[in-house]
Structures are given as C-alpha cells and as structure tokens.
C-alpha cells in the first residue's frame, strides 16, 4: 500500500504544477511547452501507477498501458523543444514535430494488437506476465510474433528516444558552458541566464533514473518492487524543482531568498514591484513603501553614483550608519531588491568595474586592477572573479583580445 502511494507522488507533483501553469494569465511559447510536458508526464505517471494497485484490473491495465507508452514517448521531443526555446528563444518548426512519429507508431501498433487479440486476451497476457510467463504456449506463431513486436517496439523506441534526448541536452549544456558553480549562482539569484542550464541538469538526472527504472522493471524484476518507490520519490523531487524553476517566474531575491520561499506562488500573479511591496520588510517601511523607497534611493546614491563599492573598507555596518538604519534591514532590502546578499552584491559591482577597467587598460597588472576595483588583495580579487565569471581575470582578458 505504501508503494502505491509513493508511485502516485510524481503524478501529484505534475498535476499541481499543471494547474498553477494554467492559472498564469500570460503564457509564452516556453510556458505552453512546459504545460504539455507536465500534462503528459502526469498522465504517464497516473497510468503507470495502476500497476501498483493492490487489486489491479488487468482489462483496465491494457488500456492504461497504451496511454502510458504513448505519453512517455511523446514527451521526449517536447522536452527537447522546451530546452531549445530556452537557449535559442525560437519556436520549433513544423518539421520538428515529425519527431512525434515514433510515439504515434507505437500507439498504432498497440491499438492494432489489442484489436487483433481482443481486450480479454490482452488482459490474460498481461496477467500471465505478472506471473513471469511472458508468452503463453496457447498462442499460435503469428500471435507470438505480434506480441513480441508490439512489446519490444516500445522498449526500442523508448531507449532510442532517451539516448537521443540525453545527447541533445548534453550538447546544449556544453554550448552553455555549464559548470556546477552555476547552480549556486542561479539559486542565489546572481545569474538568471542559467535557467536553461539548470533545467537541462534536472532533466538529465530524470532521464537517467527513468531509464534505470525501465531496465529494473524488465531485467531485474526481483528488486523492482524496492526500486520503484525510491524512483518515484526522487522523480517527484526532481519534477518539483523543474516546476519551481520553469513555472514560477524569477523575482528579486533569488531562489534561496527566505522571503521569496515564503511567498513562492505570488510570482504567478504579481509583478516584481507588487511582490516587493507585499513583503513585510520591517518597521522602517511601515504601512507604506515610502521608507523603503527612501532607503533604496540613498543606498543607490551611495553605492552607484558615489561608487562607494570601490572603498575596500566599505561594510554593511558602515552603510547602515550612513543611512541611519540597522544592518539587518539593509541586508534584507538588498537581498530582496537585487536578489543576492550584500557581500555578493558589492563584489559583483567590483567585478563589473574591474572588467571595464581591464578593457580600458589591457596592459595593467592584476594587483593594480584588484586594488583599483576595491579589493584588498589580488588573491581575493582572483577568487571572487573566478566564482562569478567561471575563469580567472587573466583568462578573461585573453578571451576579450580574441574578440
């Protein structure tokens, strides 16, 4: 019984994200593709979970198996369309939809087999397979051949689609120059452009686990009963993360911002400004946002217009003192407004300044660039530069010369 509830989790997660996606007032091309992906996966998981029912109805399983196979195969090309839209921001052409033909072929083969043998006979075959008898002796040669073709055609197309999709996603990750540090930067709100890379990473993990699940079900049947609940729980977590990144649009604060995590679904209905105004930011803002606006205007004047970030001794305590407020409130506002902690924000300003400085003075040494940009040492500068840009300042300068 516990296993049956566990295998329902991926369906539940996909169904919830589908509903939330449909509630969005404005859906672009990528949103519509994600809605199709979540909808197909929800149907696929719901159909597949029927095998774990305490008292399976084998006649119904014959129909749900056809649905499961069709939805599982058709979701692969749509996921590739979605990933392509994230990197290239273009729609898939009409010829691309020919990739759905294999799923239609398997659907046709299943319907033809069911019509030829009858639902009753197909249910008997399915019940026999549960007992370890894949092809009963009473079938004639033609029926045995037909059952083999219909059964193995699905697995052939499934693993072919899985392999091609993985190759495509890996190629996109390579083109996006993915590094695992991107995950941290993305979650902290430092690099919103890493969304396609993060989605690719999630789908790679999901596809690998899905392939292992199918292999265990068909080869290692003795441990399939243990593996399937684990696979279902892990898949539910991955699909939750996919939905969280894809369905909920990015807002100030990053995905690791506590205030944003407390109000995640507000992003579906509010503009970023409405979201900011709706958060209880502390006693200074009070009933209106006048205190918030005043502090942020002063903060921008101090940090941007007066280039306060170039002062190596600039701390959040010093800024709080100059703004006549407390450090906790300043830290919270910076985190919400800029999507990153204060220390990350000031380092980003310094790194951006250093890149402009290296472009203007290409022959300047690293020590000079570091001190001029507000860092206390070249070691600190190089470390922060590598964290944000994924390369050292020297490599960055060399790449700029090649352009």
Concatenate the DSSP letters of all residues of 108-170 into one string: HHHHHHHHHH-HHHHHHHHHHHHTT-SS-TTS-HHHHHHHHHHHHHHHHHHHHHHHHHHHHHH
User: Under 8 Å CB-to-CB from 114, ≥6 apart: which residues?
Assistant: 62, 66, 122
Q: Is the pTM of this model over 0.75?
A: no
Closest CA to 134 of 14, 144, 284, 233: 144
Closest CA to 346 of 323, 322, 312: 312
What pLDDT does residue 70 have?
A: 93
Distance between CA atoms of residues 176 and 194, nearest Å = 8
What pLDDT does residue 89 have?
A: 64
| CATH class of the 2-247 domain in this structure | mainly alpha
Task: CATH 1.20.1070.10 in the chain: give the residue spans.
Answer: 2-247
Cβ proximity of 291 and 281 under 8 Å: no
DSSP 8-state class, residue 53: -
What pLDDT does residue 383 have?
A: 85
From residue 300, give the alpha-carbon distance in Å to each of 27, 321, 334, 399: 34, 15, 10, 32
What pLDDT does residue 273 have?
A: 57
- Which residues of the chain fall short of a pLDDT of 70? 1-4, 25, 89-90, 129-151, 176-177, 179-193, 218-226, 249-293, 336, 339, 402-403
What pLDDT does residue 287 have?
A: 33
Can you tell me which residue has the tokens 């919103």? 192
Superfamily of structural domain 269-402: Homeodomain-like (1.10.10.60)
Tokens standing for residue 122 = 């197909």
Distance between CA atoms of residues 50 and 62, nearest Å = 10
What pLDDT does residue 305 have?
A: 83
Distance between CA atoms of residues 112 and 230, nearest Å = 34
């Amino acid at each position: 019984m516990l296993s049956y509830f566990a295998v329902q989790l991926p369906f539940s997660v996909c169904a919830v994200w589908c509903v939330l996606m449909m509630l969005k007032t404005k859906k672009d091309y990528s949103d519509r593709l994600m809605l199709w992906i979540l909808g197909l996966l929800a149907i696929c998981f719901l159909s597949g979970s029927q095998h774990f029912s305490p008292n399976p109805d084998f006649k119904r399983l014959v129909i749900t198996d056809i649905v499961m196979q069709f939805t599982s195969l058709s979701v692969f090309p749509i996921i590739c369309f979605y990933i392509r839209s994230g990197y290239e921001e273009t729609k898939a052409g009409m010829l691309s939809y020919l990739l759905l033909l294999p799923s239609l072929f398997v659907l046709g083969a299943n319907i033809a087999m069911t019509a030829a043998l009858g639902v009753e006979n197909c249910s008997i075959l399915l019940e026999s397979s549960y007992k370890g008898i894949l092809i009963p002796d009473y079938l004639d040669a033609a029926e045995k051949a037909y059952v083999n073709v219909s059964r193995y055609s699905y697995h052939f197309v499934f693993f072919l689609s899985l392999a091609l999709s993985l190759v495509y996603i890996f190629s996109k990750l390579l083109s996006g120059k993915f590094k695992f540090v991107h995950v941290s930067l993305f979650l902290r709100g430092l690099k919103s452009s890493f969304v396609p890379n993060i989605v690719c990473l999630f789908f790679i993990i999901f596809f690998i686990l899905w392939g292992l699940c199918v292999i265990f079900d068909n080869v290692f049947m003795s441990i399939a009963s243990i593996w399937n609940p684990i696979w279902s729980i892990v898949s539910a977590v991955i699909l939750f993360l996919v939905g969280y990144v894809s369905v909920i649009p990015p807002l100030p604060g990053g995905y690791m911002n506590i205030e944003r995590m407390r109000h995640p679904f507000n992003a579906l209905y509010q503009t970023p400004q409405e979201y900011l105004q709706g958060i209880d930011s502390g006693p200074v803002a009070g009933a209106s946002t006048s205190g918030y606006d005043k502090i942020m205007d002063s903060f921008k004047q101090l940090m941007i217009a007066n280039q306060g970030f170039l002062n190596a001794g600039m701390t959040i305590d010093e800024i709080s003192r100059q703004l006549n407020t407390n450090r906790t409130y300043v830290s919270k506002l910076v985190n919400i407004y800029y999507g990153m902690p204060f220390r990350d924000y000031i380092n980003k300003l310094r790194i951006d300044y250093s890149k402009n400085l290296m472009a203007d003075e290409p022959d300047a040494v690293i020590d000079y660039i570091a001190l001029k940009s507000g860092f206390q040492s070249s070691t600190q500068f190089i470390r922060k530069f590598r964290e944000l840009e994924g390369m050292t300042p020297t490599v960055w300068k060399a790449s700029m010369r090649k352009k």
